[in-house]
Amino acid sequence: MAFQNILLEQPEPGIYLLTISRPKALNALNSATLDEIAVATDVVAEDPGARVLLVTGAGEKAFVAGADITEMQNFTPGQGEAFSAHGSRAFAKLEALPLPVIALVNGYALGGGCELALACDWIIASERAVFGQPEVNLGVCAGFGGTQRLPRRIGPARALELLCTGRQINAEEAAAIGVANRVVPAAGLRQTGLDMARVIAGMGPAAVRYTKEAVRRGAELGLAAALALESQYFGRCCATQDQKEGMKAFVEKRPPRFTGR
């Protein structure tokens, strides 16, 4: 499928790579790019062989430097609300994919770029990565989920500090406070992502899918209800051929041969 602002590739079976590619604008997010992210998410969701989605930015300077200010500068209140809702819908669709979505942050992840990374299940950061929610410098609050996902990831106090000061943090601090999972050399970022994706793709697909769903849904429930939900998913896994194969392979001391059934 041809896109104007993103690339959607499948470097290996089961592994997709979505690249935001507007290098002249430091990969800034405009309405057209948000539409393409949503379409690409649908393409991945409709592929029964999809196992992992990696998300990154083109070039070496920026993951996504923010939303496109040239599009936003003359917004009316109604247009501003609609643009914010547009981005939130696109990112919610990405977040809801029934497979792991990993952000490979290769440079500046500011504003909408930080929010895009936060909509992914976890973040691997290049040593050159910089994170921030600088919207207050522009007279607006974060609009693509930053006020909601950042507190859920690092706690409300730390999130409010970053959201209200616009302070940018480097990769090491991002990892220390829980924004990013790990920091790797810039030259090895894509390979690290592919290596992790291969590991996940080699696991039982239903087990991975139910694990993500249990974590996501369980986070919104009380502990007792979340544990009951986990038990339901464990039972569903036991209805799959992959569960039988995985346990048989363990007993026979051989690698499992998962089929996704």
Which one from 12, 46, 81, 115 is the annotated catalytic residue? Answer: 115
Residue 198 neighbours by CB under 8 Å, 6+ apart? 12, 15
For this structure, is 115 an active site residue? yes
Distance, in Å, from the CA atom of 188 to the CA atom of 168, rounded to the nearest integer, reads: 23
Q: Is 9 a catalytic residue?
A: no
134 neighbors 115 (Cβ within 8 angstroms): no
Q: Where are the beta strands (DSSP E) in the chain?
A: 6-12, 15-20, 52-57, 62-64, 101-105, 108-110, 122-126, 130-132, 169-170, 182-184
Token reading at 45: 């969701």
Task: Pick the catalytic residue from 9, 12, 71, 135.
Answer: 135
Beta bridge partners of 56: 19
The answer to whether the beta carbons of residues 229 and 217 sit under 8 Å apart is yes
The residues with which 183 forms a beta bridge, in sequence order, are 125
Residues in the chain: 261
Q: Which residues are catalytic?
A: 115, 135
